[in-house]
Amino acid sequence: REDGSGYNSEDEYSEHPSKQLTEEEWRQRDLIFARSLEKRGFIIKPMVEDGACLFRAIADQVYGDQEMHSVVRTHCMDYILKNRDFYCAYVTEDFNKYVSRKRHDFVHGNHLEIQALSEMYHRSIEVYCYQLKPINIFHGAQKSDYEPIRLSYQRASHYNSITNPFNPSVGVGLGLPSYVLPGEMDRRQLNDAVRQSEDLLIEQTMMEDKLKATDWEATNEVIEEQVARESYLQWCKDNEKRRKQEQAGCSSSTITSASSPRSGGASPRSTA
């Protein structure tokens, strides 16, 4: 079909493969598959089933939002067109018609687009299908240490996003100038937190030492002031004591002088 609809390109001209099993059988397979991945720390994140599921799953892991699927699709088809000398060998229909058809939002993607997306984002793409090992791994032109993009291919026609909540990878591969890997960011934040904690401890220690010094100085001043006050009071008491002693000595001398007889005088009662 070339009317803007279709399943994954390999199956676009055949009967929909999901009819091979009943809905209940698919549901059971999906449940067992999801539980098996959860034991490995992965979570299947359902994508909207509208034909754009592949690009939605990629957008979810690269941009953190599956609604960015149109942007992912546009960049993907631009990349394929730019590298037509390589990709045209894998397209059995007219190349320009193929690219034009795949630009429609609700046309399914296939292995060709997955390979292009892997090269675009410099990230390997692992495709899982009801087992714990990927059935296919797509690599870019250059190897990198970036977290792989993981997809689940379910019901023979639908892609979902497989995420690792303990190692988020949103933004990886976008080539942002200030972007660092999430794990690296965690390490930087940890180092910053340790450094800030050490700086805070040093600052607190310095403040405590300063407060102790200030308290010592204040205490010393109080002691000196108390000593000075007590010395002054003692001086005042000593002065007062000396003054009283001097006054007492002066009074005693005056009384002694007044009580002694006059010398050289005759008694008024002398007889003839």
Task: Show Cβ contacts of residue 164 under 8 Å, excluding neighbours closer than 6 positions.
Answer: 41, 42, 43, 147, 150
C-alpha 38/C-alpha 147 separation (Å) is: 18
Catalytic annotation on 50? Answer: yes
**Alpha helix stretches (DSSP H) within the chain:** 23-39, 53-62, 69-82, 84-87, 95-102, 111-121, 182-259
Catalytic annotation on 158? Answer: yes
Catalytic residue from among 3, 30, 50, 199? 50
Over its C-alpha atoms, the chain yields an Rg (Å, rounded) of: 50
Structure tokens belonging to residue 130: 């009801």
Catalytic residue from among 30, 69, 108, 158? 158
C-alpha 127/C-alpha 158 separation (Å) is: 12
SS3 track for 49-106:
CCCCHHHHHHHHHHCCCHHHHHHHHHHHHHHHHHCHHHHHHHCCCCHHHHHHHHCCCC
Residue 143: which of 119, 115, 164, 114 has the closest Cα? Answer: 119
C-alpha 159/C-alpha 138 separation (Å) is: 15
Give the DSSP H or E segment for 126: strand 125-128
Residues assigned a catalytic role: 50, 53, 158
